[in-house]
Chain A
Amino acid sequence: MTAATVEHQKLTMAQAINRALRDAMAEDPTVLMFGEDVGPLGGVFRITDGLTQEFGEDRCFDTPLAEAGIMGFAVGLAMNGMRPVVEMQFDAFAYPAFEQVVSHVAKMRNRTRGRLGLPIVIRIPYAGGIGGVEHHCDSSEAYYVHTPGLQVLAPSTPSDAYSLLREAIASPDPVVFLEPKKLYWATDEVALGRGQEPGIGRAVVRREGTDATLIAYGPSVPIALDAAEAAAREGRSLQVVDVRSLVPFDDETVFAAVRSTGRAVVVAESTGFASVASEIAARVSESCFHSLAAPVRRVTGFDIPFPPPKLEHFQLPSVDRILDTVDDLQWEDS
């Protein structure tokens, strides 16, 4: 696709996801969108706004309020030629569907030795930062990335939300698509159409820097960029890598970035113990050991249930916490 033919539009992330669904549904009649309140209402975040009106209630529809049922129903539809996109209304409301996701969605291709793949997209509005009450702000990515057979994506920009969702819907494998709720209203110039690079499985360097590398994804990327901006004012040059695709994970881009600076901090909102951040830190430590001037550090949520709204700022990675950790990277030795 040449630059001249690509249409761009200024969209919020919510609008970009809506547009990706609309474009995918227009191009492929087997794409179905369903879940709770996604029909005439357009979803509690209005992500599916207008889809039922445009494509009819056979294509975008409400289901009974039962997440395991929604997920199992999607498995059957995918077994029989459809490309279902389901919305789990909130991160923590997706847990009833967990058995279907782990035992069936993730395993069907493998169980059947490649004969039956399930092209399902599981959209999950996720993570905190919106002042949500309990059960509305979980960072549940570790559960999914720990399950072989699931691709797990976490966009941080409207452009990525659009392009990665288009790729996710076209993918022959199931995708858990984590939409950072607090970024729904972020705006960006979005390139429309399928096949926008980079695709699934690629990380990108969001900001060049030479002193240390911040590795982040989803809702933590803007914080990492803010931290890099603040560090620059203090004379320290921080590189920011946006992982985008948690599975498959782009070792190549992440390792190259860390080797170029020799220091790394992983930033993620999820609780830190046995987390995606831990996995990234371990991979970087194992593969970049000889390039590292300091141990890889993590800035993550604490190992506590997600706090109530008035306390959530203690849990979310902040610019100060990132900069304090960067300050700790044994600069006196270099």
Chain B
Amino acid sequence: MTREPGHLLPSEDPVMLIDPSGRAVASDGREMPPTDALLRAFEGLVSARRLNDQAYALVRQGRLAVYPSSHGQEACQVVAAQVLEDGDWLFPTYRDTAAIVARGVDPVEVLTLLQGDWHSGYDPTIHHVAPQATPLATQLPHAVGVAHAARLRGESTVVMALCGDGGTSEGDFHEALNFAAVFRAPVVFFVQNNEYAISVPLARQTAAPSIAHKGIGYGIPGERVDGNDAAALLQVLGAAVARARAGEGPQLVEAHTYRMQAHTNADDATRYRSQAEVQEWEAKDPLTRLEVYLRSVDALDDATLAGFTEAAEELAQRTRVALNQDVAPNPEDLFRHVFAEPTPQLRAQLDIVLDELDREEVGR
């Protein structure tokens, strides 16, 4: 059997529909998404940016242990959620807080992990959002399993599986793409290539022409898209989701974007990248270019923007207030959920902790 594999290769340049200056650019055969979808994306971008910056501030105030910010990657975050339907699933990583919130999960629940009260603070079954994956790429085979289960039941569910450029070096990335292709699972593998895995640049992760080129090895079409262009993302991810929903199998989408801040507050990005490089990416900011474009087609005015900003501020404030409250997590939870029913040994261990607590009370 021979199959012409050329159609699996990505375009030479990342798909771009709005350039960094905010002008629409032609991209062969790809249409600009409807203005209302772009406006909705912009509202999401404003909210995501505010949330990123709020969470970053909460780290400095000692309310969050850490926050891997997606500042600069908000277009990827918002559009990954926007192209999904209610029954679809999202598989996020630790850097995808904004995508989870864009999917409709309460940011206070999402930030439980980083606040240190529990691991996953939200119910994955309500919004169809998997717990944030901290081990790299391990969530990708799960995404394939969820998609395959839906397919076995004849449901039209699509799964959006996120990872970063570093994650593509892991074996689980390879195995997930291979399983998805073999089982024709409706998964969109969406790689946010932000150039660095903590400090290690992309050149040390792969010698492939691009991450999207890796798809051909599995028989999966690869696409490259400008990750700071919400319009291009809506177009490319929307098409990938539609294709998966139509039963045409998985797709690999690589977004070229940039992590504007350090990996986390514990990182020092000046040790491995130049200020000039950061400034170059500042000029490609996803919010600015979409705002300029929307104003140029009279889809956005000051009043609308003020409304978006106010809503984002409200969300940030509600998050801040909730995270500033000290609610002591219950140590009983430590033993309650290891199994559906605690073993006799776990019950005995819980008693040790409860006894210690009782004695602390008495000692006070």
Residue positions of A touching B, CB distance < 8 A: 32, 58, 63-64, 66, 68-69, 71-82, 84, 96, 99-100, 103-104, 107-117, 148-149, 151, 171-173, 201, 247-249, 251-252
Contact = CB atoms under 8 A, between A and B. Distances in A.
A321 to B, nearest CB: 30
B138 interface: yes
A312 B89 CA distance: 49
Contact of B141 (A71, A81, A116): A71
Contact of A111 (B131, B175, B178): B131
B110 to A, nearest CB: 13
Interface stretch (B26-34, B148-156, B314-322): B148-156
21 contacts: A66-B175, A72-B138, A72-B175, A72-B176, A75-B142, A75-B145, A76-B143, A76-B145, A76-B147, A77-B148, A77-B149, A82-B149, A100-B141, A109-B337, A109-B339, A112-B124, A115-B124, A172-B340, A201-B343, A248-B343, A252-B344
A64 B124 contact: no
B307 interface: no
Contact of B138 (A66, A103, A201): A103
Contact of B179 (A32, A64, A99, A172): A64
A95 B359 CA distance: 44
Contacts of A109: 337-340
A99 B178 CA distance: 18
A73 B144 contact: yes
A251 B344 contact: yes
A251 B344 CA distance: 9
Given A111-B119, A115-B123, A247 B182 contact: no
A300 to B, nearest CB: 22
A252 B142 CA distance: 38
Quick one: which of A72, A77, A110, A115 has the most chain B CB within 10 A?
A72
Interface in B132-168: 135, 138, 140-150, 152-153
B244 to A, nearest CB: 15
B146 A76 contact: yes
Given A109-B339, A116-B124, A69 B178 contact: yes
Contacts of A113: 118-120, 333, 337
Contacts of A104: 138, 142
B339 A64 contact: no
A113 B131 CA distance: 11
Size band of the interface chain B makes with A: 35 or more
Contacts of A248: 339, 343-345
A66 B337 contact: no
B340 A79 contact: no
A99 B141 contact: no
A64 B178 contact: yes
Contact of A72 (B144, B147, B149): B144
B130 interface: yes
Given A64-B182, A66-B175, A110-B119, A72 B142 contact: yes
B148 A68 contact: no
B295 interface: no
B146 A69 contact: no
B336 interface: yes
A79 B130 contact: yes
A74 B145 contact: yes
A94 to B, nearest CB: 15
Interface string B77-99: 00000000000010000000000
A136 to B, nearest CB: 22
B204 to A, nearest CB: 22
Nearest to B181: A64
Contact of A110 (B147, B149, B171, B337): B337
Given A66-B178, A73-B141, A116-B125, 10 more contacts: A69-B175, A72-B145, A73-B179, A76-B148, A104-B142, A109-B337, A109-B340, A111-B119, A149-B338, A201-B343
A198 B152 CA distance: 35
A282 to B, nearest CB: 13
B142 A76 contact: yes
B145 A68 contact: no
A99 B134 CA distance: 12
Contacts of B118: 113
Contacts of B147: 76
A268 to B, nearest CB: 19
- Point out which of A32, A78, A80, A100 has the most chain B C-beta atoms below 10 A from its C-beta: A80
Nearest to B89: A80
A155 B142 CA distance: 29
A81 B135 CA distance: 24
Contacts of B149: 76-77, 79-82
Contacts of A116: 123-125, 131
A63 B119 CA distance: 31
Contacts of A64: 175, 178-179, 182
Nearest to A149: B338
Contacts of B150: 80
Contacts of A82: 145, 149, 152
B313 interface: no
Contacts of B195: none
Contacts of A171: 340
Nearest to A63: B179
A75 B120 contact: no
B337 A69 contact: no
Nearest to A81: B149
Interface in B314-363: 333, 336-340, 343-345
